[in-house]
Amino acid sequence: MADGTPQSEITVDGLIGLVRAYNPKLNEPLIREAFAFGTEMHEGQFRHSGEPYFTHPVSVAAILTEQQLDDATIITALLHDTIEDTKASYSEVERLFGLEVAELVDGVTKLTNLQLNSTETKQAENFRKLFMAMSKDLRVILVKLSDRLHNMRTIKSMRPDKQQQKARETMDIYAPLAGRMGMQWMREELEDLAFRVLNPDGRQSIIRRFITLQRETGDVVQKITTDMRAELDNAGINADVFGRAKKPYSIWRKMEEKELSFSRLSDIYGFRIITDSEEDCYRALGTIHRRWSAVPGRFKDYISQPKTNGYRSIHTTVSGRDGKRVEVQIRTGQMHDVAESGVAAHWSYRDGVRSRNPFAVDPAKWISQLTEQFDAEEDHEDFLEAVKLEMYADQVFCFTPKGDVVKLPRGATPIDFAYAIHTRIGNACVGAKVDHMRVPLWTRVKNGQSVEIITAQGQTPQVTWLDIATTGKAKTAIRRSLREVDRERFIKLGQELARSAFAHVGKKTTDKVLRLAAKNLRLKNTDELLARLGSSELTGRELVQTVYPDIRPQSAEQIDAARALVGLEAGQAFDRAPCCTPLPGERIVGITFRGEGVRVHAIDCDRLSEYEDQPDRWLDLRWHEGSHPAVYGAVIDITLGNGAGVLGRICTLIGEASANISDMEFLERRPDFYRLLIYVDLRDIEHLHSLIATLEAESDVAAITRSRNKNARPAAERLA
């Protein structure tokens, strides 16, 4: 929802006009009296911006008119700071405006006085008080959310430290609460306003990339919206179609969760189809799926299974123009009203009477369901965990039949649940029951559900499980089991691939060569080596270089490091950006610097976003194909078991892989392990991958990854 009229300009007549637009039977005299009372009580008080303080309560009331709320809530907004910040008393507010308004104002005052401390115990106490206040009258939290929204819209006038505090509080508490209540528009705006304070660079980066994408592809939203309307018209379905790019924070969160760069992120656009009837919702779904390809596992029917806050809609993700994924939500007009207002829809007015939306939930029942499970919790940490279970959707907490809690990522399935318990349970899984009902294995489990895994002797994982599972643990176990099942076939295929790979470099495939390769890769025998080769976990080129590291298939002559790039002008100097340290074989781009030549970045480097508005400085570069010398530095982040001779063996392996160690930096030392950075000189990206694979096979290596310093800047760097 938009900010609407500038808040400082809203007069009493303007506010009454906003209320009258949806409630012609408003109590105009009482609203005028509340406006006058608030003006008088806040006389002489000013906000950090220098505006008269009463502009804030008026703005909060205006935000609540967008939700078409009743007179008592609007008046509460006007008076919500009077008991706390002025000479007005509870009894005076009750005498002038009635018991209902006085209790609402008192409830908002108590919420305002809650200090959300960082310690878990204090936070749990405050959550408990917050839910108790909500349970008395949910309109209290509606006023408080609108109060927080206006404060976040005007947060720039506050001190930087207060901005950070309020933004973090908003992101952790108020935005998730708005989402839990079904007020998705408010959640998104609160998140975006907090994101602007907490990570302004990240937000600007997303916005710049959107601008670049729109410049390259045109108005994708308008194109897809037009296509959808045409398809629905052809099917005889009367519906409105709306499209938009998702909010910067929503995109940032997806990038963080999926560890993807912006260019690889899909479904950054969302579309809504508003129909006349429930039947048309399903007809529209069929029309969309006939025209565009549905993305497996991205369909949810909240019409047949509504959320507890009354939310109803069909969600699907399809591949649109140019293979881009777009999310589509389909619902009726009444469902849409609830989707916008959430639990607040219960108080919405239309034409002077409370709107009788059949999908609006009874707030008393909703809040009682939410608080019922908390009342019995005595332990503060248990209570806070229960609150987070309800408030945050990034993780799912399910229960075994014995009551043990299993934590899974959002979107997890019973397959993930089974492997989370034990690999043996996962491998033998033949079915699942959720809340005592048999469900397909591709079902997405939800918070608080009880999951029972049905097993059978002799069962083995199916290939289709790889598409169903979401956790790395489950996928790894499934692949390992599948490899064992198809072991003989993979071994035969591996024998042929090995023969071909060695023949390509003029060598023979002997038992001795295969045993040496297996030893170098720390595999138990040659059958294991051939099985991995046949299952594509190991390439023929990697196999050859394991035994003959100095053989380069492309060319016997090495490429001069000073002339390693294609695309530079004659004599133009270059260096590798320290933030991403690209290696030969990686896709790259160059950024020109006046007097310093060209800085080379990996194509997925986050720092490139700083130059998106300077296209004239970009150079299209690539590495020369062929054999490069081992002079290109890279950094490996490795965690090792703290045992005798472990580090020595790792250094030996690096040497055997024809990589040179230039430096080491210890990050952590513990009794059972230590973590360090190893600086190595390599030939190219395949050399790095081969080295990591070799080290990863070592039993004492607990974790290993390539390390990149995203914040690194050359000392001499200056803007062109």
Strand partners, 673: 641
8 Å CB contact between 658 and 691: no
Give the largest Cα separation in the chain, rounded: 99
3-class DSSP state of 649: helix
Rounded to an integer, what distance in angstroms lies between the CA atom of residue 405 and that of residue 287? 41
**CB under 8 Å to 40, separation ≥6 — which residues?**
none
Closest residue by Cα to residue 449 from 439, 458, 457, 463: 439
Of 84, 94, 527, 596, the active-site residue reads: 84
Q: Which two tokens stand for residue 680?
A: 């190595």
Rounded to an integer, what distance in angstroms lies between the CA atom of residue 543 and that of residue 505? 12
Q: Where are the alpha helices (DSSP H) in 26-119?
A: 28-41, 55-66, 71-79, 82-85, 90-97, 99-112
Q: Which two tokens stand for residue 346?
A: 């219960």
| Alpha-carbon distance values, 550 to 12, 29, 243, 695 (Å) | 83, 90, 56, 19
Rounded to an integer, what distance in angstroms lies between the CA atom of residue 122 and that of residue 134? 18
Q: Which two tokens stand for residue 112?
A: 């305002």
User: Quick check: is 84 catalytic?
Assistant: yes
Q: Where are the alpha helices (DSSP H) in 154-219?
A: 160-169, 175-180, 184-198, 200-217
First to last CA, the chain: 41
User: Quick check: is 85 catalytic?
Assistant: yes
Strand partners, 600: 576, 590
CB atoms within 10 A of CB 137: 20
Q: Which amino acid is at 226?
A: T
3-class DSSP state of 620: strand
Rounded to an integer, what distance in angstroms lies between the CA atom of residue 46 and that of residue 36? 17
Closest residue by Cα to residue 653 from 514, 515, 521, 532: 521
Helix (H) or strand (E) holding 453: strand 451-455
Q: Which two tokens stand for residue 263?
A: 């260019």
Of 3, 33, 51, 85, the active-site residue reads: 85
8 Å CB contact between 187 and 179: yes
DSSP string, 351-379: TTEE---TT---HHHHHHHHHHHHHT--S
8 Å CB contact between 624 and 689: no
Q: Which two tokens stand for residue 409?
A: 């990522």
Query: How many Å separate Cα 431 from the centre of its chain?
Result: 30
Helix (H) or strand (E) holding 336: helix 333-341
* Strand intervals (E) in 389-546: 395-399, 405-409, 429-434, 437-439, 451-455
User: Is the dihedral angle over the CA atoms 306, 312, 314, 316 positive or is it negative?
Assistant: negative
Which residues belong to the active site?
84-85
